[in-house]
Chain A
Amino acid sequence: MSSLNSSLNLGQRALSINQRAMQTVGHNIANQETEGFSRQQVRSGTSAPDPTGVGGGADAQPTTRVYDKFVQRKILQENPRSGMFKSRGEFLQKIEIIFSETEGNGLHQALNEFWNSWSQLSNQPESESARMQVKVHSDVLARRFRNMHSQLDGLRKEINGRLYANINKVNELGQKVAELNRQINLYEGGGQRNANDMRDARNQAIEELSDLVDINSFEDPNGRTTVIIGRDWTLVEGNNRYQLEGTMKGGELGMLRVDGVSTNDNRRDLTRTFREGEMSEMLRMRDETIVNYQHNLDEIAFSLAGKVNRIHATGTGINSAAEMMKSTFGLNLDALNQPLPFLKDGIFQLHLVDPHNEILETYEIEIQAGKDTLPDIVQRLNQTINDPGLLQASIESDGSLLLQSAPDYKFIFGEDQSSITQVLGLNSFFDTLKGAEDIQLSEHIRENTNNISTGKDLIPGDNRVALEIAKLQTRPTMRDETMTFDEYYNGVLTGMGLKIQRNKTEQAQQESMVRQFKEIRSSISAVNMDEELTDMMQYQKAYEASARFIGTVDKMMETVINM
């Protein structure tokens, strides 16, 4: 038969269970806004009954948290995509600002003004102010190309910096997870306790990690979580973590490479192994997307310079005959002995002119593409001229071509079917080696606007060359001569706009999906005040009842004692 003492014990246990429950309610209420917190519950179980089958009251079970690990897994799975779209959207918008036309200072505007200035010059080839306009607008155009290119470079550098910060953040979170693994393992050692809050903190850390990189995580039998990021890099295993490191070595100068460092300082390049998450998108932006836009600009700048130069080279301006001219591009020793690239078969003409701009002699040589080297051509030129006292071609020490006439004589270029003027950069309008990055007005144009070619054979009112250049605006010149400059650039802009739009939709979809999962999680794990208050009242009443029970038992004991 159970003693009154055991009844007292029962009452005392009930008090303590209710008190613990009350404390848990307090804990829940206090943490209702804590990020990643899962509400906790005190569960009680019945104590073992005595041999007669009378119940022994309640026993406290370990405090558990209300948590659905499948929902959490889903969130970890979808979160990296969400982070990817988010950072993609952010950077695309920055690119859009660089390409923006709305302030009237975009590339489009500069191109329009450039073509218009040529159109005007073609109408007034003798006018100094029209020449000035061409110079100014061409300069603006070249500068716009360079600016956009360097702004995109700036964006790449910014991303690089943030990448560095992200690497640190990943390492920090990895460290945190590893540390929590250790603590959880210690705390839960006997299997009697649940490290609820630490597990919440660990989940929170892993979730934060999933914003940055795509992750895969699972718990080992000891309650420690293994975290694998990217394709196959184990960031955390048990109590250990293997951190990432950004190295400058290898690849493009100044651009970080993401290395994984394992024990014994073994390194592995992980740059290409991230598929989703902010970091993967930043790498993709830095190494592909922005670079592609730069290439697009390069292509336009290159094409523009090439087409304009080709027409410009064989033209003349006002008194623009030269006594000396050096090609923009020089060849190294190897290249000097190779056939000159990009030539076409055909003739190349030089005119010798007197101080009154009258053509005295015309020298014509035949050039064979893929066969003639620069020394060949120089030799043939000098042979044809046959009088070094009048005009002479030579190769400078830097591998450039130098043409020089005797005093009192000057020279201009005639027909050039071989494109040698364009290939070597003779009498060019724009100079560029790399495209948008370094396009600029040729030096002799900057020095004197009279050197802008408008016609041929030094006739001041000749507008044939200017007209040809102005007509380039509407000629299909890009992509195997299928698109005009405008169409091509418009295509680039439209592509970008569509990309942003698509990303917006995808981002919205992805975020709404993640949000729904988080909502499900909240509805399971988050705190509801009303609920907690109800619980509180319930536990309060239960506590009061337990106390009364003890009081009653006490009275009973008194009764027994006073008997």
Chain B
Amino acid sequence: MRVTEVTKRDHVVDNIQRSSGKLQDIQIQMASGRRLNKTSDDPIGAARSQDIVTTLSSQKQQLQNVEDNIAWLQRSELEIGHINEILGQIRTLAISQAGSDSNEETRQMVAREFAVARKTLFNTGNAREGKLYLFSGIKSLSPALKKNGIFQPAKVEKSGVAQKDIRELLDVKQFRAQFEGFSTNNYRIKVTKGGIWGQARIKISDDGGRTWSKEQTLRPVIHVFNQDGKLNDQVLLKFSDQEGRLGNILPKQFDFNSEKSAEFDLDALGVLFPEGIEFVYQPNPEVSYNGSIHKKESLISNGLSIPVNITAQELLLGEGEDGVDTFSLLAAMERALLENDGIAIAKRIDQLNLAQNQVLKQQADVGNIVRELYSTQSRLENQQFEKERQLSDIQDLDVAEATVDLKVAEANNILSLNTGARLIQPSLSDFLR
């Protein structure tokens, strides 16, 4: 093939271009310390490295979430431990006061301790971490527990149909029926025989009408409990006018068993209870749950979340059939202490055990969740290390290898410059005279 000035020049330029191009590539890699500078340097590797960067970044966030939640749960654990401790003390006290070994004076003292314990439990149930309530579920800005009012207007039903108001039924101005007291029972008081006070007969149910007590006389103030059913919790049904009179002002000596009373004209009261009406009591414990039954869930890995709350409901108020309302229980025991009733206390020790188990179960649950979070934490940390290594493998430069490459490229560059210089220089004109 003919060699011409143009081909010579093109070859030389081309070779220099190529070798210095290679040199520049390596130079860029060396300067940035990365093998991957653009997507097109290694498209598949770039996608993998992006994947890893994304994973790393979301794991970092997860790690932070996990750490936050561990702190949160450890705080919860502390409070639960406190509750458990209080219940343990209460149990020891209760056992010492059960039966007949104690006297009234001691029991009064212990009752006071019960009162303090109830208050402490209430405050612990409403414990906060920062501005957030620990045991409120997702309603974290509201206290977990609230105290209910002791009064509750009685709902009136007839044959299962709700009646608007007792006033319309009884045709007496400003007359009302009101329950007083705390209980978790569904009380119903049914008029089985119509009439005025002292004449009308009633039956009481503590389970929403499934079982009924023996028939008794209707009085202005009724101690609502079903002797055949659950333990008494001192709920009263009172009939009164707006100022609270009527039911209350009836003197103690008033004899309901006689047809008529000398001092009072019962007809003048005009209260005639029709047969079949029922007074319905909505369960109204002293303390009820104010939070949400929904728990906060936290992401711990891709798309997986676990609950990180313990609610005061499951801790202190109980859920379902076996649940124990710790506050009602302690209130009832306190009353029994005040009444110096050792047997009533003894009867409730089983319940107290259940209440404590309830707390222990939650304590175990928190422990499990914290353990899971710890293992998630260490898994995330290990993975992070591993992912960072993988990322480095993909995108970082092997400096030793690059240095060797650089040397080779440099040598090539010098060589092509050298040969170019020699090829281009000589010409026949140099040798002509």
- B58:A119 contact, CB within 8 angstroms: yes
Q: Given A463-B138, A523-B7, does the pair A120, B61 have CB atoms closer than 8 Å? A: yes
- A32:B138 contact, CB within 8 angstroms: no
- B57:A112 contact, CB within 8 angstroms: yes
Contacting residue for B4 out of A470, A494, A523, CB 8 A: A523
Contacting residue for A123 out of B5, B65, B141, CB 8 A: B65
Does B338 make an interface contact (CB < 8 A)? no
- B141:A460 contact, CB within 8 angstroms: yes
| Residue picked from B2, B10, B44, B69, most chain A C-beta under 10 Å | B2
Closest residue of chain A to B302 (Cβ to Cβ) is: A474
A534 vs B126: C-alpha distance in the bound complex, in angstroms? 109
Question: Closest approach, in angstroms, between the C-beta of B46 and any C-beta of chain A?
Answer: 6
* Range class of the B interface residue count: 35 or more
Contacting residue for B303 out of A124, A475, A493, CB 8 A: A475
Closest residue of chain B to A473 (Cβ to Cβ) is: B58
Q: List residues of chain A with CB within 8 A of the CB of B298.
A: 122-123, 467
A529 vs B65: C-alpha distance in the bound complex, in angstroms? 78
Q: List residues of chain A with CB within 8 A of the CB of B400.
A: none
Q: List residues of chain A with CB within 8 A of the CB of B58.
A: 112, 115-116, 119, 473
Closest residue of chain B to A39 (Cβ to Cβ) is: B4
Q: Given A101-B50, A461-B139, A530-B427, does the pair A126, B132 have CB atoms closer than 8 Å? A: yes
Closest residue of chain B to A520 (Cβ to Cβ) is: B1
Binds B, one of A303-311, A404-412, A497-505, A548-556: A497-505
Contacting residue for A119 out of B65, B131, B132, B139, CB 8 A: B65
- A461:B132 contact, CB within 8 angstroms: yes
- B141:A461 contact, CB within 8 angstroms: yes
Cβ contacts B31-48/A at 8 Å (1 or 0 each): 000000111111110110
Closest residue of chain A to B309 (Cβ to Cβ) is: A461
Binds A, one of B191-199, B210-218, B267-275, B289-297: B289-297
Does A71 make an interface contact (CB < 8 A)? no
Cβ contacts B300-331/A at 8 Å (1 or 0 each): 00110100000000000000000000000000
Q: List residues of chain A with CB within 8 A of the CB of B132.
A: 126, 461
- B2:A99 contact, CB within 8 angstroms: no
Does A533 make an interface contact (CB < 8 A)? yes
Cβ contacts B96-116/A at 8 Å (1 or 0 each): 000000000000000000000
Does A332 make an interface contact (CB < 8 A)? no
A463 vs B141: C-alpha distance in the bound complex, in angstroms? 13
- A126:B131 contact, CB within 8 angstroms: yes
- B37:A494 contact, CB within 8 angstroms: no
Question: Closest approach, in angstroms, between the C-beta of A444 and any C-beta of chain B?
Answer: 22
A446 vs B46: C-alpha distance in the bound complex, in angstroms? 35
Cβ contacts A445-482/B at 8 Å (1 or 0 each): 00000000001000111111001001101110000000
Question: Closest approach, in angstroms, between the C-beta of A105 and any C-beta of chain B?
Answer: 13
Q: What are 6 sample pairs from A and B whose C-beta atoms fall under 8 A apart?
A: A113-B57, A126-B131, A455-B138, A496-B43, A526-B5, A528-B4
Q: Mark A residues whose CB is within 8 Å of B.
A: 32-33, 92-93, 96, 99-102, 108, 111-113, 115-116, 119-120, 122-126, 455, 459-464, 467, 470-471, 473-475, 486, 490-491, 493-498, 500-501, 504, 515, 518-520, 522-524, 526-530, 533-534, 537
Report the 4 A-B pairs with minimum CB-CB distance, sorted nearest first: A497-B43, A461-B140, A500-B40, A526-B4
